[in-house]
Structure 1
């Protein structure tokens, strides 16, 4: 059985506050790699600056983590640009994670 989880995914390749989404990722058995929207990510194993994963094809760096109950998911704070929530998980995100 494939393990999936709702996660916060922020592109860090351009700036400290990049494009960010909350969506369902598919985890590898070890958790060191994951897939989201057809993109494959590999862990930086603690060697990243402002990022913890990178896109295997493009090399772009990302911050990927579990979403926070208070919605303050950005690594460096703020909400600009706004965080998008994938439509297929929106109800589950708002009820189970945000408690609303």
Structure 2
């Protein structure tokens, strides 16, 4: 499974960008429609089912909604707020290098 370091924010139960957020290593299926985040299996929202919500993935077991995107070097990852994400230990070194200008693992070609 391809791995990527991503910004992940829990949307269920929180207004706008007030949910907890992480910089974490996710594993994606070949189709990129399913992601494994810690002990959660997230599935990409299809079509317009969640068009009025700020989520693009949901937990297949709990139904909780998440926003998943690539991290930004300027650390403005939240869509509407400036809350800083927690950085998972297994992503810390690569994320710090990214903030200094290096490419993220798996994204060396863009």
Q: Which residue of 2 aligns with 1:9?
A: 8
User: CA offsets per residue over residues 63-83 of structure 1, 9 Å max, x none?
Assistant: 00110111110121221xx41
In 2, Cα distance between equivalents of 1:77 and 1:27: 27
Post-superposition offset of 1:45: 2.4
1:33 and 2:31 equivalent?
A: no
* 2-structure distance, mates of 1:31, 1:12: 20
**2:19 partner SS:** coil
Alignment partners' CA distance in 1, 2:92 and 2:33? 26
Structure 1 vs Structure 2 CA RMSD: 1.3
1:52 aligns with 2:56: yes
Q: Which runs of 5+ in 1 are unaligned?
A: none
TM-score under structure 1 normalisation?
0.89
2:19 & 2:32 partners in 1: Cα distance?
A: 24
Distance 1:59 1:67 in 2: 24
Distance 2:7 2:69 in 1: 5
Aligned length: 96
Q: Distance in 2 between matches of 1:32 and 1:58?
A: 17
| Runs of 4+ residues deviating >3 angstroms | none
Offset of residue 11 of structure 1? 0.1
Q: Structure 2 unaligned runs (5+)?
A: 102-110
Alignment-derived partner of residue 108 in structure 2: none
